[in-house]
Amino acid sequence: GENVEQHPSTLSVQEGDSAVIKCTYSDSASNYFPWYKQELGKGPQLIIDIRSNVGEKKDQRIAVTLNKTAKHFSLHITETQPEDSAVYFCAAVIKAAGNKLTFGGGTRVLVKP
Amino acid sequence: DADVTQTPRNRITKTGKRIMLECSQTKGHDRMYWYRQDPGLGLRLIYYSFDVKDINKGEISDGYSVSRQAQAKFSLSLESAIPNQTALYFCATSDLGPAGETQYFGPGTRLLVL
């Protein structure tokens, strides 16, 4: 079926280093790719998104890249800080699934001080 | 005040009991969703509704039912709770716009079925 795969499932980085999370999707018609951050005890919140007509988008220390040909997109966090520790989810609008968001399995990021 | 609220925030119940989780939103969105998150990672869609008269099953609807009482309210019921329904449940809303679909999540309901 149509799905979104996310790797790695856990990621531990030293404060100040970069973190990269990668996702692949199966529906070539997908055109919207958001990233969500879930802090402990809270619901996921949108942190950045990208549409299929651009290849990269940045917002301060976070950036997302999209390769439509290869059907993968990535989240990059630079100069990581302890408050970046959370679970991150990628998602894609899957047209074959009724234009609904389909989420990846999530990545637990731990930033060690 | 929070845009998406869920009640209760925590619930302990026994096998076989019927329980209802409630979700309310003040964002004015037509679309509402119920997800389940199991210990660890992952969000799985249980049911979704694109407007008051529209109800659709998600990938894991067995054992659950929903009711869309109004645009602002979407409740999830477990008809006869079982231990493997122990999980964190999230309600979300969205409004499909030209930029795509941003979903706004509630704070979650932690359910334990004994």
Phi, psi values for residue A16, rounded to 5°: 100, -20
Q: What is the spatial distance between Cα B101 and Cα B20, in angstroms, rounded to a whole number?
A: 27
A2 pLDDT band, cuts 50/70/90, is low
Report yes or no: B108 at the A interface, CB cutoff 8 Å.
Answer: yes
Q: Is the Cβ–Cβ distance between B19 and B7 less than 8 Å?
A: no
Q: What is the spatial distance between Cα B100 and Cα A34, in angstroms, rounded to a whole number?
A: 9
For position A23, what pLDDT does the model report? 97
Cβ-defined contact of A49 to B100 (cutoff 8 Å): yes
pLDDT one digit per residue (tens) for chain B, 114 residues: 569 999 999 999 999 999 999 999 999 999 999 999 986 668 999 999 989 999 999 989 999 999 999 999 999 999 999 999 999 999 999 877 655 678 899 999 999 999
Query: Would you say residue A54 has pLDDT above 90?
Result: no
Q: Which of B84, B83, B71 lies closest to B23, judged by CA?
A: B71
Alpha carbon of A107: minimum distance to chain B alpha carbons (Å): 7
Query: Would you say residue A69 has pLDDT above 70?
Result: yes
For position A101, what pLDDT does the model report? 83
Mean pLDDT across chain A: 91
Report yes or no: B10 at the A interface, CB cutoff 8 Å.
Answer: no
Alpha carbon of B105: minimum distance to chain A alpha carbons (Å): 5
Q: What is the spatial distance between Cα B3 and Cα B11, in angstroms, rounded to a whole number?
A: 22
Report yes or no: A9 at the B interface, CB cutoff 8 Å.
Answer: yes
CA distances from A44 to A71, A104, B41, B93 (A): 24, 13, 12, 12
Tokens 């979407």 found at: B74
Question: Per the structure block, which two tokens stand in for A16?
Answer: 């100040």
Q: What is the spatial distance between Cα A109 and Cα A46, in angstroms, rounded to a whole number?
A: 16
- Measured CA angle at A9 (ends A5, A15), to 5 deg: 130
Of A9, A32, A43, the CB nearest to B41: A9
Average pLDDT over residues A81-96: 91
Average pLDDT over residues A94-111: 85
Q: Is the Cβ–Cβ distance between A44 and A29 less than 8 Å?
A: no
Find the largest Cα–Cα distance for chain A.
Answer: 43
Residues of A in contact with B100 (CB under 8 A): 31-32, 34, 49, 51, 93
Q: Is the Cβ–Cβ distance between A56 and A37 less than 8 Å?
A: no
For position A95, what pLDDT does the model report? 74
A52 pLDDT band, cuts 50/70/90, is confident
Cβ-defined contact of B90 to A107 (cutoff 8 Å): no
Alpha carbon of B53: minimum distance to chain A alpha carbons (Å): 17
Q: What is the spatial distance between Cα A89 and Cα A36, in angstroms, rounded to a whole number?
A: 5
Percent of chain A past pLDDT 70, that is, above it, reads 97
For position B74, what pLDDT does the model report? 98
A31 pLDDT band, cuts 50/70/90, is confident
